[in-house]
Structures are given as structure tokens and as C-alpha cells.
Amino acid sequence: MSRKSNPVDPLDVGAVLAALEPGPLSLRDLAKALNIPAAGRERFKRQLDDLLVRRQVVQIKGGFFGLGGTPQPRAQNLITGKVVQKQAEYAFIIPEDPGQKDLYVASADLQDALPDDVVEARILPNSTGTRRQAKVLRVVQRAHERLVGTFRRERKLGFLRPAGLPFVREFLIPSEAQQDARDGEQVVAQVTAWPEGYVAGRAKIIEILGDADQPGVDVTVIVRKHGLAESFSEEAQEQARGLAREPGAEEVAGRLDLRGLPIVTIDGEDARDFDDAVSCEDRPGGGWRLGVHIADVSYYLRENTPLDLEARERGTSVYLPDRVLHMLPEPLSTGVCSLVPGRDRLTVSAFMDIEPDGRVEHTEFFRSVIHSAG
């Protein structure tokens, strides 16, 4: 009985090199480009190994194959950068190399990359100077281990549709990882396996936020999606409580005393804390002396203390429709660092001497203490 012949034709080296000319490919994509049937993949891999030995082909990081003699990413039209989503239909890659321009990526070419992921991508041959286009080859570093989105139940299986990421496939949530979430609820899920090829990613629910129509849930989704901190460490809170006392002689010493100057805050009526105040006086020779007074938060933040580290992590206070996520604990943010009327407050003041025609003639800056009138 004669042996069955192998359906794969002898390897066309020229075709392999031509397929790799635009840039590196994975073994699967290279076989697909050469129309290698599944039954011939093992033989094709052995033939490719022979080209590796002869250095006609090289294997580069991530398991990709490229033309021999040019293994470096730049020579292979590879680029590494961060994904930034703009629309459902496309995103951009901001290269790590500041000398490179941003790359346009169609949603179909994002693979399973998410916004803020660091990826390795291949610059496509049809790119132009005004619109360079790329295709993601692999994710180098994931930006998020947790995802926020809508839970969908289908019989015993559950799925997570990540919020605000219409081009991302749903993640599978096995029955034992659903935490009794109901169909349509907003949830936070921990990724347990990232998507790979045609295999869906997996996740487990760690927090149920509630129905999308429930008041406040939409805001909580935003908070969780962006990883905004809602609480402070006990060390930072303890430090804040220790500092939350009205300024006394020790705090005021060495500051310009402006408590006798008519000063008013300029934050809106619905403001939850007061950061800015102004004063204005007529100058004897004409014009005005304008003072702008800002809460001196730096006085309370010593470098590398728990409060300083927490403030660095946040960077700013975040004002949401139904809540404020303060940069500092409330004893400071709405207390001694808020320029509330009728209280002495430590400030940094800028004075501008303004001519009648509006020209600023002179400026001065001081660490000061004020007493806002309202």
C-alpha cells in the first residue's frame, strides 16, 4: 500500500521573502499569506526553521518572523507606543519615540488592544506622510487589570461589554464568577485571561454597581472606569486632622497681613470649596491695585508625607455631578485650605498695579494671610 503524499508543495522561498517584505508576521499570518493549509503547517514550520538556519529569515521578539539581516524593529517597520481611542471606528498609537508621528489604526487592526495599552505595531505599506497607518501585532503591556461595563447573561454564561469601548469584544464570565449579577447591571470585573486570537478573554465580577438607570450609578461607572480614588489612607487622614486648626501666631508669622483689606471670594454660589479671592483698591495716581489670593495649600503639604503622596496620586480634585473627589482630605480641602468668609486663611497673593488704560505696570508676590469678607 503506497503512502499518502503530502499536500504541501515544496517551499517557495521567494514567496516567503515577498510576504515578509512589508514587515514581520506571526507564523499563523505568514502561513495564511502563503495559503498553507492546516494539514501542512508542521512541515511548513520545519521548512521555515531551515530558512532561519540560513539566516534568510530571522525570528524577532514576540514570535514574529522577518527578513534576514534586519532584525531590528525600526528596520522591520515596527513601532512601539500607547493606544489612544478616538472613535469607535479607529484609534491612534502614540509612539514611544518622540521623533515618530502618531499612527492611525482602524478598529479591525487593533486586535485585542485597549486604550492606554502599550503595543507593538507594524506600519502598513500603504501609509502616507499625512496619514500613517498601522496594525497592532501584539500587546506589550496592559494598562488595566480591571474593566467596568455592562453584564449580559445568556443562559448560564455571562458576558461583560466594557464601557466606552465599542470595538472591544465581550469578555466571558463563567457562572461561578458572576456574583449573582443580573442582566443589564453595571459591574467591575477583574480580567483573568486576555483574549488571544479567536479565544475570548475571561473575567470575574468583583463589584456590582447596580442598574444603569439607578441614580448615581452612571457617575460611579465613570469613577471606576478611570480609577479615581474615593478614599484616603488612614495615615493621610490622621495627618490632615492634625493640621486642621485655625491659623495662629506661629502660622501667620512672617506673612504679609492682609486681614484688614476688603477681600471677597470669587467662586460660584454652588462651589463646594473656595480656592480664590480678590481685592481691588484705587491707586492715588489713577488706576487700580488688583490682588489675587490663592489658598496656600503647599504650607500643609510637606514633601514625601502621606498627604503629599496622596495628593501626587490624584493631581487634582475631581468635580462630578453628585460628588467631589478631593485631592486632600476634607479637614483641609473644605476646612483650613478653603477661603471661607469670616476666617483667617493662609494664602499666596499676587498684586498687580494697573494703569487707567489697562496696562499692568508692576507685579509683586507674597505669602500672606487674609480674612475674606464674603
Beta carbons within 8 Å of 248's beta carbon, 6+ residues apart: none
Report CA-CA distances (Å) from 169 to 172, 316, 332, 372: 10, 33, 44, 55
C-alpha cell at 142: 496592559
> Distance (Å, rounded) from C-alpha 223 to C-alpha 57?
48
Q: Are 205 and 192 in contact (CB under 8 A)?
A: no
Q: What is the pLDDT of residue 10?
A: 64
For residue 146, list its beta bridge partners.
190
AA letter at 277: A
* Cα torsion angle, 62, 68, 73, 76, sign: negative
Q: Are 133 and 103 in contact (CB under 8 A)?
A: yes
pLDDT at res. 75: 44
In which residue are the cell numbers 491695585 written? 289
Mean pLDDT by 10 residues, the chain (374 residues): 42 80 79 84 81 77 68 62 83 88 88 88 73 86 91 90 80 92 95 84 94 92 90 94 92 93 80 83 93 94 93 90 91 91 94 94 95 84
Closest among 29, 234, 48, 51 to 137, alpha carbons compared: 29
Question: How far, in Å, CA of 242 to CA of 234, rounded?
Answer: 12
Q: What is the DSSP string of 143-163?
A: S-SEEEEEEEEETTEEEEEET
Q: Find cell 505669602 and name the residue.
A: 367
The reported pLDDT for the residue numbered 308 is 94
Which residue shows C-alpha cell 493549509? Answer: 37
Cell (9 digits) for 133: 497607518
What pLDDT does residue 107 have?
83
Q: Are 295 and 337 in contact (CB under 8 A)?
A: yes
Please tell me the distance from the alpha carbon of residue 276 to that of residue 268, in angstroms, as a whole number: 10
pLDDT at residue 69, rounded to an integer: 59
Q: Give the pLDDT of residue 204.
A: 96
* pLDDT in the model for residue 140: 87
Question: What's the pTM?
Answer: 0.66
| Exposed / middle / buried, residue 94 (Cβ in 10 Å: 0-12, 13-18, 19+) | middle
